[in-house]
């Protein structure tokens, strides 16, 4: 299997280790589930992560997306996925106002997991870059990258903003759990200039939803005096 990337990271004891990244296959399914179980057991808030089932991982690995994994020796320590979604009533494109004819142009940036021992090495961002590079090598119809993140899942929110994704909705998903819906239009240039900017506390759901309804997009976040603020622009 082709190595997509090789680098050095530090574990939680400060020791440097060499890791490699490659595309994942069905043969990696047990390792994927093991990493996910480690993540779930480490969470203080189980609502911060919407885990995938074994069947959902199989669906991706059987040609309905791309998965990349980081390995130390032969052990999977992190992974990330792009998913070609079903066009159904829960499609994220509907949440951000896309028309029916545009939904087939959406690919999801799906679950991203890093074993706690190896956090702090920007593995999420590395895997995201590599996945988008792999996608760019393929002939595809995708214009929009979408995903969801729970409010106050700070590492995942930072990851999305670092990639240039924007908050386009804030609503209940997955049986009533509040989620930001992010989007990136791959046809657009990089950073945008914002004529108007609002700074809203992350805990203020109503004000954020009102800003989004008014045409604002969430494009960054900052911590001020211990309070996380979301920056909205239009």
Q: Do residues 168 and 66 both lie within one domain?
A: yes
41 with 127, same domain: the answer is yes
- Walk across the sheet containing 177-185 and list its strands: 3-10, 16-23, 65-72, 75-83, 106-114, 144-149, 177-185, 166-173, 217-224, 227-233, 197-201
Task: Judge if 233 and 205 occupy the same domain.
Answer: yes
Average pLDDT over residues 130-141: 89
The pLDDT score that the predictor gives to residue 189 is 73
Are residues 224 and 129 part of one domain?
A: no
Report the candidate in 171, 170, 151 with the shortest Cα–Cα distance to residue 221: 151
Range of the domain at 203: 193-234
Average pLDDT, the chain: 93
- Rounded to whole angstroms, the Cα distance separating 224 from 17 reads 35
- Per-residue pLDDT tens digits for 5-49: 999 999 999 999 999 999 999 999 999 999 999 999 988 776 667
* Token couple for 203: 């805990």
Tell me which residue of 105, 58, 47 sits closest to 81, measured CA to CA.
58
CA separation (Å) from 150 to 24, 134, 169, 197, 203?
26, 27, 12, 22, 12
Q: Are residues 16 and 35 in the same domain?
A: yes
**Does residue 233 share a domain with residue 128?**
no
% of the chain at pLDDT higher than 70: 99
C-alpha closest to that of 33 among 22, 24, 23: 24
d(CA 159, CA 165): 9
Q: Are residues 50 and 156 in the same domain?
A: yes
Are 174 and 197 within one domain? no
Q: What is the CATH number of the domain that holds 73?
A: 3.40.630.30
Percentage of the chain with pLDDT > 90?
A: 84
pLDDT at 51: 85
pLDDT for the residue 46? 66
213 and 175 together in one domain: no
pLDDT in the model for residue 48 = 64
**Number of structural domains in the chain:** 2
Over residues 166-219, the pLDDT tens digits come to 999 999 998 899 999 999 999 987 778 999 999 999 999 999 999 999 999 999
* CA–CA gap between residue 48 and residue 64 (Å, rounded): 25
> Do 40 and 125 belong to one domain?
yes
């Amino acid at each position: 299997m082709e190595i997509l990337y090789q680098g050095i990271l530090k574990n939680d004891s400060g020791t440097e280790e060499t890791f490699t990244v490659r595309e994942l296959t069905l043969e990696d399914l047990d390792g994927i589930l093991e990493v996910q179980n480690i993540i779930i057991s480490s969470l203080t808030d189980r609502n911060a992560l919407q885990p995938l089932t074994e069947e959902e991982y199989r669906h991706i690995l059987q040609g309905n997306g791309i998965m990349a994994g980081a390995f130390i020796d032969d052990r999977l320590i992190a992974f990330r996925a792009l998913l070609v979604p079903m066009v159904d009533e829960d499609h994220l494109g509907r949440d951000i106002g896309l028309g029916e004819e545009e939904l087939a142009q959406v690919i999801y940036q799906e679950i991203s997991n890093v074993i706690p021992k190896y956090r702090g090495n920007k593995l999420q961002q590395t895997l995201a870059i590599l996945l988008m590079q792999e996608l760019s090598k393929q002939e595809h119809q995708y214009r929009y990258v979408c995903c969801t993140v729970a409010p106050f899942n700070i590492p995942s929110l930072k990851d999305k903003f670092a990639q240039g994704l924007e908050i386009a909705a804030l609503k209940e998903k997955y049986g009533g759990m509040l989620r930001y819906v992010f989007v990136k239009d791959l046809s657009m240039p990089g950073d945008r200039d914002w004529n108007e900017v609002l700074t809203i506390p992350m805990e203020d759901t109503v004000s954020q939803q009102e800003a989004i309804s008014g045409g604002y997009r969430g494009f960054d976040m900052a911590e001020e005096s211990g309070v996380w603020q979301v920056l909205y622009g239009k």
